[in-house]
Amino acid sequence: MAPIRRLLHMLVATLMLAALCAAPALAAEGPATPDAPADAATDNATATEIPDKPTPAEALRATPVAIVHTDIDNVGTRLVFHLKEVLNKSSLFSLSAADEKKIKLVVRTREEFPGRPGLGSVYSVTWIFSASENVLNHYLASEVGVVSAADVAATAEALAGRTDAVAAQYAYLFE
């Protein structure tokens, strides 16, 4: 009698397990309604209209940027030129001379050693927010460093990265 009872318990347990496994699949199908579309292709067509990956709002921003530089040392001028190139190639920025809301980079450079002009430069970059030319500017950030003739491009890219971080931090100013 015990083997039959054990077999009966196993049968009941198997049926309960099958019912538990089938319940989520049946619930996912939902209730059968007569007004539901009979054509599965219609459901697939509407599903493909939704983009797979939404575009983040940050990727859509193109922050207006202006660079102010009046110094004439060789390495500093090359640094500013490379910085303008990097910002111009980036989809995150647009170089702007218009009277609009923008981030201004005020770059000051001096020869590191006045007796050896092509060796390197010291630079300072100040990021300021300008709502317009007739409104007082707002300080955002600053950085000081030394750049050699060999690492002008790398320094320009680092400054562009810092500009992106500043633009992201103060993005609310452009709203």
Global confidence as pTM: 0.65
> Does residue 47 surpass a pLDDT of 90?
no
The answer to whether 117 touches 86, Cβ cutoff 8 Å, is no
Q: Of 14-23, 39-48, 113-122, where does mean pLDDT reach its minimum?
A: 39-48
Integer Cα distance of 160 and 156 in angstroms: 6
Q: Kindly tell me if the per-residue pLDDT of 60 is higher than 70.
A: no
Instruction: Write down the pLDDT at residue 33.
Output: 52
In the prediction, which pLDDT does 157 show? 97
Secondary structure letter of residue 163 according to DSSP: H
pLDDT for 51: 59
- What is the reported pLDDT for 116? 82
Dmax over CA atoms of the chain, in Å, equals: 108
* pLDDT band (50, 70, 90) for residue 154: very high
Give residue 29's pLDDT: 56
Rounded-to-integer distance, Cα 23 and Cα 20, Å:
5
CA atoms of 92 and 40, how far apart (whole Å): 42
CB 140 within 8 A of CB 129: yes
